[in-house]
Chain A
Amino acid sequence: MWWRSASFIRDRQNQNPNPNPNPKPSSLLHSELDDSPSSPTSTSMAALNPNPNPISAYYQTRAEHHAVVTSDWLAQSADAAAGDVAASSGAASGGNKGEGGGVGVIEEFNYWRKKPDLAEAVAAVMALGAVIRSSEATTMNELDIELKKASNNLKSWDTTSISLSAACDLFIRYVTRTSALEYEDFDAAKRRLIERAEKFGEISLKARKTIAMLSQDFISDGCTILVHGYSRVVLEVLKMAASNKKLFHVLCTEGRPDRTGLRFSKELAALGIPVKLLIDSAVAYAMDEVDMVYVGADGVVESGGIINMMGTYQVALVAHSMNKPVYVAAESYKFARLYPLDQKDLEPALRPIEFGVPIPSGVEVETSARDYTPPQYLTLLFTDLGVLTPSVVSDELIQLYV
């Protein structure tokens, strides 16, 4: 699956002396601030006890990365900044000389995870790559076991993150599915594995740029785009479109409960893209003027559908009934071997919801953080493997897994 990666487009572009290869993302400005303030404590806790609370760690991380910057949050992060740097450097060194097993991989993972522009899954891929590199195993079997152990560790760190477990599975699948395993010489085989791991990491790192380039053709001048949720891929797509001097409008949903839309619209406004905020319930009202819907994905499942932030299904349904295309931008490491049959057929990922006022007693609150959008409501998926129809997802997965 990866060798057919469309990332060659990116490679080609890098060869050209491009005046502005990576437009300065405004998020970098926040990078120091974004370094999660509470992570030293929470990760050490996580290392001891994976998944300590019912709240989805995945969404916690995302909230940490993308939450609207408030004044007290700024203060907190300023306090944490000094200790954080020390912690991360320690983690990096610890990861490099880690024994490849339990603690090392988590530390390595946390080191990568704290980079705000890096997806959790890519962090996991990097961490696993480090495991192979630093492994002291002497046989292939040992290395295999070690890798599996590390990946299980990572997965249990956050069971609700689909992309994390999908990326771990894909990494192991991709790295070990090579004829190198039959080599007599272990060192050569290991070198081959490291090579593949690096390639995988590179592809994962480049994925967003590749997707952004692939989807440029779909954005035309004067179009109106509806965006739901904060997706770094979608942001990259829009950013690149703006830097290509395309003129378009963006409608941004509010994205309750963590108001991801506010953050997203802020970034777009900073780029000079005309953007309008909608409350989540105004999607159908605004759909008339929308030309296309762009969403990201937490995970792409085998049916070709996506699992994404709560409300995506609703947006896709409205768009489908009004015959508007729904485009999904998702990196291929999010392809998961899951096949949900309906909304309840998912690992629940819960998230606290604030209503501003106290919840009346005896009232239940639906705290699920994500929903499943079936493939028939999606038009195309932009991935780093190319622009795919939903049905191709399972074809790719079959070729890699079965």
Chain B
Amino acid sequence: MDLRRPNRPVIGPKVRQVGFVTPDSAAATSSSSIPAVSAAAATSAGSPPSSLSPVMIPPPRHPSTEMSNPHFHPVGSYNPSEQILGSPPALSPSRSSRFDADGSDFGGDDDESVALSGVGGGMTPKSSLLMRQPVTKTAPLVSETHKRDSNVSKGKGDGPSAAPKEKLTKAERRATQEAQRAAKAAAKEAAAAGGAPSVSKQPKPATKPATQQKKDVPSGSGPLQPLAPSGSIEKKQGKKEVAAPHPRMQFDDMTKVGKLKKRAVVNQSEARNRVELFRHLPQYEHGTQLPDLELKFFQLDLIHPSVYQVGLQFLSDKISGGNARCIAMLLAFKEVIQDYTTPPEKTLTRDLGAKVGSCVSFLIECRPLSVSMGNAIRFLKNRISSLPHNLSDKEAKSRLQSDIDRFINEKIIIASKAIVEHGVSKIRDGDVLLTYGSPSVVESIFAYAHGIKKNFRVVVVDSRPKHEGQGLLRRLVERGIHCTYTHLNAVSYVMHEVTRVFLGASSVLSNGTVYSRVGTACVAMVAHAFRVPVLVCCEAYKFHERVQLDSICSNELGDPDAISKVSGRKNLNYLDGWAQNENIQLLNLKYDATPSDYVSVLVTEQGMLPPTSVPVIIREYGIERLWT
């Protein structure tokens, strides 16, 4: 059993590196740090799930994400073939354990699926080697390594993948694994004893470049890509619904990404030179997809025009901000429901749910969902599935539409009014209030406070690249509020005169972490250091039961060009053509996580709460409890 540990650094090709790592140094460190044993270990297939990605995220529990998870199917449409090729190495342990747990649901498939996914874990890295070849390498090198890789992978891939096709029982499988492990240990001991034996050295060049190149630039849209998932696609022809990418899918897993691309409606080309620590997030080159999507307008009969419109607005950033996006999406869904007719031999509750699901997946492709949207979708699906069956179409539709209206009204509009009332009670005459970005609720708090003749001053802190604060500044100044405008860089300078910090939030997680526009954590930290109370204003429908400790696991990457270019400064062109240079990686994060220590109070429609009370609100007044 103690042998399990030594395997990991070897098979898992990732040597975890923190910070911004250039590919060269990564290659250097990995080649020096990987011992000669690696080859011996790598040759033995069927080893426990390998290539653990740097960040492991457990599969989510809430229903909406499971609905949109491409690998989650109702029992009937369960497709074991997908497990072979599709199961990501990182997910396979939890997945197999899930099968173990409720194996009864899957009946006879149980054993097989476990066996297959176990082997799939060992196999996927090799089959995905091909598509991870960097296109920027010089041609001979590519072809050489390619050839060798393909040889090796073919040689290795055949054996183990063929073997477990015949059904193995769990005990048998365990026995083979034990045997393999023992053999591995023996090989390792031999290696240790014989210094650097030639036996284990021989296959090394084949696997090593592969492990390094995973860290290298992932080829954006190389011709090699279709290779990996080609088999699975054909088997999935029967599937009608457009499957959504998992909201927290790991985008550094090439197999999955490839599969996703095949199904995707929006063809987003991926940006290159991605930052090491954020490989698992999708990053697309901006502006390439719009004309393409417009062309496809008439081909996509599945997507309702209003959803299409909203999706395009998300893509082009015409609609941004948590509440605005959520309302736009809900209104689009309302139209979808309006134009919906139940197809013959189908029930409304089932079919409409699927229909909404496909719309959601389209929206996810345009831009990852925010937590608020996720909660709204969860609510809507809940309502759809809880409709009584004897309802006529017309009644059901009107009921759903009024539900959506009520959600928008009660959870967003009235909620923000209540927040404004609570927030204003904390503004005293002579206060200096600081805000960051352009949170809509905070803006209405300021406006209301000004309306009731409170005497205060506002410091608007802004940051590149979006400069959202300028809009807020303009609107506040138009109202006659005395304002100061500054950039994030100067926040520690202005903080000493500030008496209250008002911040908005994209979502609040159950450990009190505030997930918000990037830079918020910085402002909150400075305020905390200056002992200035930080008020985070957030509607309760944005609360989420997830726990997040950092901003890395789950985040959104923006357009890297936005930070490389400075508008109005033509002579600042040092980063022109950065995409061609492998040594540059640009990171444009959209969100960050503010630890709850920096938050003095959460202002919600339920009153003012300490950040420790978020779980109580979720438990007592969560979306699920709404009108159920």
Within 8 A of B (CB), among A364-391: 375, 391
Residues of chain B contacted by A337 (CB below 8 angstroms): 607
Q: Does A402 contact B (CB under 8 A)?
A: yes
Q: Does A229 contact B (CB under 8 A)?
A: no
Q: Does B606 contact A (CB under 8 A)?
A: yes
Name B535's closest neighbour in chain A (CB-CB). A341
**Contacts known (A303-B601, A339-B601); A402 close to B621, Cβ less than 8 A:** yes
| Distance from A399 Cβ to chain B, minimum over Cβ atoms (Å) | 7
Name A401's closest neighbour in chain B (CB-CB). B607
Docked-complex contact A394 and B610, CB < 8 angstroms: yes
Docked-complex contact A341 and B533, CB < 8 angstroms: yes
Residues of chain A contacted by B621 (CB below 8 angstroms): 402
Docked-complex contact A391 and B606, CB < 8 angstroms: no
Docked-complex contact B601 and A341, CB < 8 angstroms: yes
Interface string of B613-624 (1 = CB under 8 A from A): 100110011000
Docked-complex contact A395 and B616, CB < 8 angstroms: yes
Docked-complex contact A391 and B620, CB < 8 angstroms: no
Q: Does B426 contact A (CB under 8 A)?
A: yes
Interface string of B577-620 (1 = CB under 8 A from A): 00000000000000000000000110000111110110011001
Q: Does B500 contact A (CB under 8 A)?
A: yes
Other-chain contact of B600, A341, A394, A399 (Cβ < 8 Å): A341
Docked-complex contact B607 and A304, CB < 8 angstroms: no
- A402 to B622: give the CA distance in the assembly, Å: 13
Docked-complex contact A398 and B500, CB < 8 angstroms: no
Name A389's closest neighbour in chain B (CB-CB). B612
| Distance from B612 Cβ to chain A, minimum over Cβ atoms (Å) | 4
Docked-complex contact B617 and A398, CB < 8 angstroms: yes
Docked-complex contact A302 and B617, CB < 8 angstroms: no
| Distance from B412 Cβ to chain A, minimum over Cβ atoms (Å) | 18
Q: Does A345 contact B (CB under 8 A)?
A: yes
- A394 to B610: give the CA distance in the assembly, Å: 7
Other-chain contact of B607, A341, A391, A402 (Cβ < 8 Å): A402
Q: Does A342 contact B (CB under 8 A)?
A: yes
Residues of chain A contacted by B609 (CB below 8 angstroms): 302, 394, 398
Name A344's closest neighbour in chain B (CB-CB). B428
- A200 to B476: give the CA distance in the assembly, Å: 49
How many residues on the B side are at the interface (Cβ–Cβ under 8 A)? 18
Name A398's closest neighbour in chain B (CB-CB). B616
Docked-complex contact A402 and B613, CB < 8 angstroms: no
- A399 to B616: give the CA distance in the assembly, Å: 8
Residues of chain B contacted by A302 (CB below 8 angstroms): 607-610
Docked-complex contact B426 and A394, CB < 8 angstroms: no
Interface string of B495-507 (1 = CB under 8 A from A): 0000010000000
Docked-complex contact B426 and A341, CB < 8 angstroms: yes
Q: Does more than half of chain A's interface fall in helix, strand or loop, or is it mixed?
A: loop
- A394 to B600: give the CA distance in the assembly, Å: 13
Docked-complex contact B610 and A398, CB < 8 angstroms: no
**Contacts known (A341-B600, A399-B620); A391 close to B612, Cβ less than 8 A:** yes
Docked-complex contact B608 and A345, CB < 8 angstroms: no
Docked-complex contact A398 and B533, CB < 8 angstroms: no
Name B615's closest neighbour in chain A (CB-CB). A395
Interface size class of A (residues with CB under 8 A): 10 to 19
Docked-complex contact A391 and B600, CB < 8 angstroms: no
Residues of chain A contacted by B612 (CB below 8 angstroms): 304, 391, 394
Within 8 A of A (CB), among B421-473: 426, 428
Name B616's closest neighbour in chain A (CB-CB). A395
Residues of chain B contacted by A399 (CB below 8 angstroms): 616, 620
Within 8 A of A (CB), among B532-571: 533, 535
- A146 to B617: give the CA distance in the assembly, Å: 32
| Distance from A396 Cβ to chain B, minimum over Cβ atoms (Å) | 9
Residues of chain A contacted by B610 (CB below 8 angstroms): 302-304, 375, 391, 394
Residues of chain B contacted by A339 (CB below 8 angstroms): 601, 607-608
Docked-complex contact B606 and A402, CB < 8 angstroms: yes
Counting chain B CB atoms within 10 Å of each CB, the highest count among A302, A344, A401 belongs to A302
Other-chain contact of A398, B426, B600, B620 (Cβ < 8 Å): B620
Within 8 A of B (CB), among A87-121: none
- A245 to B416: give the CA distance in the assembly, Å: 57
Within 8 A of A (CB), among B254-293: none
- A345 to B610: give the CA distance in the assembly, Å: 16
**Contacts known (A391-B613, A394-B612); A342 close to B607, Cβ less than 8 A:** no
- A306 to B385: give the CA distance in the assembly, Å: 46
Within 8 A of A (CB), among B324-366: none
Residues of chain A contacted by B428 (CB below 8 angstroms): 344-345
- A391 to B428: give the CA distance in the assembly, Å: 26
- A395 to B607: give the CA distance in the assembly, Å: 12
Docked-complex contact B500 and A341, CB < 8 angstroms: yes
Within 8 A of A (CB), among B379-426: 426
- A236 to B616: give the CA distance in the assembly, Å: 33
Counting chain B CB atoms within 10 Å of each CB, the highest count among A375, A398, A399, A401 belongs to A398
- A375 to B596: give the CA distance in the assembly, Å: 14
Interface string of A321-345 (1 = CB under 8 A from B): 0000000000000000101011011
Docked-complex contact A395 and B426, CB < 8 angstroms: no
Residues of chain B contacted by A304 (CB below 8 angstroms): 610, 612
Name B531's closest neighbour in chain A (CB-CB). A342
Residues of chain B contacted by A345 (CB below 8 angstroms): 426, 428
Residues of chain B contacted by A394 (CB below 8 angstroms): 609-610, 612-613, 616
Counting chain A CB atoms within 10 Å of each CB, the highest count among B535, B607, B613, B620 belongs to B613
Residues of chain A contacted by B613 (CB below 8 angstroms): 391, 394-395, 398
- A344 to B426: give the CA distance in the assembly, Å: 11
Known: A345-B426, A394-B613. 10 other contacts (CB 8 A): A302-B609, A303-B601, A303-B610, A304-B612, A342-B533, A394-B616, A398-B606, A398-B607, A398-B613, A402-B606
> Can you pick out 14 interface pairs between chain A and chain B where the beta carbons lie within 8 Å of each other?
A302-B610, A337-B607, A339-B607, A341-B426, A341-B500, A341-B533, A341-B535, A342-B533, A391-B613, A395-B613, A395-B616, A398-B617, A399-B616, A402-B617
**Shortest Cβ-Cβ A-B pairs, 7 listed:** A391-B612, A341-B533, A339-B608, A394-B613, A395-B616, A402-B606, A303-B610
